[in-house]
A and B are shown apart, each in its own frame.
Chain A
Amino acid sequence: DAKTTQPNSMESNEEEPVHLPCNHSTISGTDYIHWYRQLPSQGPEYVIHGLTSNVNNRMASLAIAEDRKSSTLILHRATLRDAAVYYCILRGRYKRGSQGNLIFGKGTKLSVKP
């Protein structure tokens, strides 16, 4: 199963944009890039996902490199509520014998300063 690499922590100021990077050099052609975040004392929650093209939703934007070996989660205006651990995960088609599921790394702990 392909792995992802993220910085351990990042800091941002409130109301400023945040760019959270993720490297996934072993991504395969059918792997989707998912981002989840986990607020303190809660289960993870979905943020966004994409395959090849950049994606936008109400929470964030996902910028995917042309070679798909890296991606960036963009929070356009960080708020204090965005302080969480952000996980970048690859998920591919089901293959018997593989974990095939959401393999969470350590994630990036985002701190937001007022």
Chain B
Amino acid sequence: KAGVTQTPRYLIKTRGQQVTLSCSPISGHRSVSWYQQTPGQGLQFLFEYFSETQRNKGNFPGRFSGRQFSNSRSEMNVSTLELGDSALYLCASTSGTSGTLYYNEQFFGPGTRLTVL
């Protein structure tokens, strides 16, 4: 099985722009989670989707949004980019039903490195 893929792998934007990142989960996985990783804050949870519904959301401003499509692929969008949004954005997929996600393994993609100038 192919692993979790994320596109693009690297991205450079300027302040004020917006960006869309894409994540394709492992085939058959219906849950996708997004994380932001920075040297200062470490790994922080952004949001989780299951079958096109957002189940959980972390403590991020409304500029961060996401969605999941019927084929389980997910996108996250960041509007009005700020310098502090420079980070590695990681996507993870999980197998199982909504009731079993919490004890199943999450598979992470390689991440998208976003640099905001």
Tell yes or no: B90 within 8 A of A by CB: yes
Report how many residues on chain B are interfacial, defined by Cβ distance under 8 Å: 25
Report how many residues on chain A are interfacial, defined by Cβ distance under 8 Å: 24
- The A-contacting residues of B in range 31-78, CB under 8 angstroms, are 33, 35, 42-45, 48, 55-58
Of the residues B48, B56, B92, B105, contact of A49 by C-beta under 8 Å = B105
- Chain A's interface: helix, strand, loop or mixed, by majority? loop
Chain B neighbourhood of A7, CB < 8 A: none
Q: Can you name 25 A-B pairs with beta carbons within 8 Å? A: A32-B102, A42-B110, A43-B90, A43-B92, A43-B111, A44-B43, A44-B90, A44-B108, A46-B107, A87-B43, A91-B102, A91-B103, A92-B102, A93-B99, A94-B56, A94-B98, A94-B99, A94-B102, A99-B45, A100-B56, A101-B33, A101-B45, A101-B58, A102-B45, A106-B42
